[in-house]
Every structure is written in structure tokens, then in C-alpha cells.
Amino acid sequence: MDIFTLAEANLISPPILFFVLGLIAAFVRSDLSIPEAIAKALSLYLVMAIGFKGGVEMAAGDLNWSVGGAILAGIVLSALLPILGFGLLMLTTKVGRIDAAAIAAHYGSISIVTFIAASDAARFLDTPGEGFMVAVAAAMEAPAIVTALILAGSAARASNGAEGHGESRLSVFKEIAANGSIVLLIGAFFIGWITGPRGMEAVSPFFTDIFRGVLCLFLLDMGLVAGRGLLRNWRVLKPGVIGFGLYMPLIGALAGMGTGLLVGLEAGSLGLLMTLAASASYIAVPAALRLALPEARPAISLTLALGITFPFNLVAGIPLYFWLARLVTGTGG
């Protein structure tokens, strides 16, 4: 499959088109909106389903060293990518030290929704990843934040003042690890692993059959939220920052490709690792940074991650990463 076939197959799939519909509806100022409770429930469902399925696949496959390698690769990527991102932002844009660190944290961490969309696309593109990639995704959430806090450095420490001392990096790390979506992802993964294919049989109409349809509804919401975020806050995004939101995913994906090849991932899992490295968090990290780095302006990083990078990855990035992953692993025609 050449890249155009992949790109087209991705583009004219219902989930992506519903995302685009959401963007359009936001731009034409339609009052279409998904209630907050529903958006949260859809994301919980998707996380639960993807975690569970990953676990069931783990139970079906055999546990080997490559799993450990992949998780380690993920942690290293998440911990080191923020340094690269931070440097690029300080060099090419005028955002301050704190904001640069905050943005870098988003890009080092991962977007679980992008991961879910990529997993679905992977199936669609006939290159499904392996079950353990769920564990890799979970492992990549937190390290980036710790790096970013170190990068924010003295500036943050000073502003935290007296009370700030109580706020150790460990506590931030804990806070992220107890984040609802991560607990659910890991928990569902283990439940899938424990119950295996027999457990899946009992719940597959809910967790598998309707999955892609639910994803459509959820991506419609993401399109609405991303579009409205852009409309509200595009002014805070300078061209240099927008550029960063477009090239940083590519850099992340390449870093992910290199690391993934090193630990011997096959095409599907490699594509997923590249997507993870390319994606920017907009659920767990924004909330955690409001506490760990309150001086950072959330409008910048959130708008960039959700309004620029997420659509880019969804529409163009994912087929590109999977095409590359197939190419370098010599998979498919």
C-alpha cells in the first residue's frame, strides 16, 4: 500500500470525517455540542475498551522481553523528548521559560485519544499493533512532566515561594499516576489480561463491536472542542508556536521510529509508538500542570496540543507514521 492509499483510507473513514464535521460545525458557529458528562463518558469507554483489548491480546500472545524493551523505549522517549522540545521552543519562539517547559511536557507525554484513533486506524489499515502497546502508552504519560519541571527550573521554584517547597516532583508524579484515565487504562489492561479471550467473549459486543461507532461520536466532540478552542484562543498562538505544533510531532515520530527499531518492534507496534511520541497530551498533563506549574498559561499549550497537533496527527500524521513504519520494517506491499 502506498502512502496515498493509506492517507485516503484514513481520510474517508467515518471517525475522521466526523472529526472534520466537528471542526466545521465549530467554525460556522453552530451551537452543536456534546454535553460534558457524555464527552467524559465516551472517553472513559474508549480508554476502558482499548485497555481491555490490549490485555486480552497479552493473554493470547506470549509474554517476552520485547514488552519490557518497548516500555523502556517509551519511558526514555517521554523523558527526553521534552528537552528537545524545550530547546526548540526557546530557540525559535518568544515564549518564556515556564511556558516552553509546559508545552514541552505536553509533547513529551502522550494523547490517549490519538493513541485510540491510531489503534483503530491500524486495524483499518491492516497493521494492528500488539496488546502491550497499551502498557507503553500508560508508561509514557508521566515522565515528561518530571523532565519539564526540571527544565522550568529556578523560575518555577522561585515563584512557588514558601509553599512551593512542599510540592515535590514526586508528588506531581504520583498525581499523574493516579489520574483517572491512566488508572482506568492500566486497570482495564490487567482485567483483560486476567480474563483473557473468555472474558472478551462475554463483553465483546460492548467493547469491540460498537467501538468504532462510539469513536465517531467522540471525535465529533473533539472536533467541536478543538475548533472552538482555536476560535477562542488563536490569538495566543504566534506563527513560531504553530510551526512547533506541526513539526514537533514529526520529530517525535522519527525519534519514536529510531527507538522502536532499536527494541525490535514490528510494523503495527512501531506505528503506534511513533504516534505516541508524536502526540501531545490534552487530558492528564494540562490538569497536572495547573498545579505543578501554575504560572504557565494554559491557553497556549492546550490550544496548541488540541487545536493544531491533534488534528494534524489525526488527519495527516497517523497514515504517514504507519506508512513509514511499514516501510522501515519491510512490511506489506
Partner 1 sequence: MQTSLKKRLEIIIEMPAVPRLEAVLEKAGVKGWTVLPAKSGRGANGSWSREGQITSAGRMVMVLVIIDPAVLDTVLERVYALLERQIGIVMVSDVQVVRADRF
Give 235: exposed, middle or buried? Use CB within 10 Å, 0-12, 13-18, 19+. exposed
User: Would you call 292 exposed, middle or buried from its count of C-beta atoms within 10 A (0-12, 13-18, 19+)?
Assistant: buried
Q: How many amino acids of this chain bind its own copies (CB under 8 A)?
A: 52
Cβ proximity of 261 and 274 under 8 Å: no
Minimum CB distance to Na ion smaller for 193 or for 301: 301
What is the nearest approach in angstroms of its own copies to the Cβ of residue 32?
Answer: 3
- The site partner of 299 among its own copies, Na ion, partner 1, none (C-beta below 5 to 8 Å per kind) is partner 1
Kindly tell me which residue out of 137, 140, 276, 283 binds partner 1, with binding defined by CB under 8 A. 283
Contact 106, 305 (CB under 8 A): yes
If one asks whether residue 221 binds partner 1 (CB under 8 A), the answer comes out as yes
**Of the listed pieces 19-27, 72-80, 233-241, 324-332, which binds its own copies according to CB under 8 A?**
19-27
Encoded one letter per residue, x for contact with its own copies by CB under 8 A and - for no contact, window 203-242 reads xxxxx-xx-xxx-xx--x----------------------
Q: Is 258 exposed, middle or buried (0-12, 13-18, 19+ CB in 10 A)?
A: middle
Shortest separation between residue 277's beta carbon and Na ion, angstroms: 5
User: Residue 172 has which C-alpha cell?
Assistant: 506531581
To the nearest whole angstrom, how small is the minimum distance from the Cβ of residue 103 to Na ion?
A: 12
Closest CB to its own copies among 198 and 235?
A: 198
Q: Does 288 bind partner 1 (CB under 8 A)?
A: yes
Give dist(CA 83, CA 108) in Å, integer. Answer: 9
CB 117 within 8 A of CB 318: yes
Closest CA to 276 of 86, 133, 102, 180: 133
Nearer to its own copies, 21 or 285 (CB): 21
At its nearest, how many Å lie between partner 1 and the CB of residue 159? 7
Residue among 56 and 135 whose Cβ is closer to Na ion:
135
> Residue 50: which of 38, 61, 42 has the closest Cα?
42
Q: Is 18 in the site for its own copies (CB under 8 A)?
A: yes
**Residue 319: which residues within 8 A CB-CB, separation 6 or more?**
3, 6, 7, 9, 10, 11, 121, 125
CA distances from 222 to 80, 102, 218 (A): 28, 22, 6
- Give the residues lining the site for its own copies (CB under 8 A): 12-14, 17-18, 21, 24-25, 28-38, 40-41, 44-45, 48, 52, 124, 178-181, 183-184, 187-188, 191, 194-195, 199, 202-207, 209-210, 212-214, 216-217, 220
Name the residues that contact partner 1, by CB under 8 A.
33-36, 39-40, 43, 159-160, 163, 221, 224-225, 228, 232-233, 236, 282-284, 286-291, 294-295, 297-299, 302
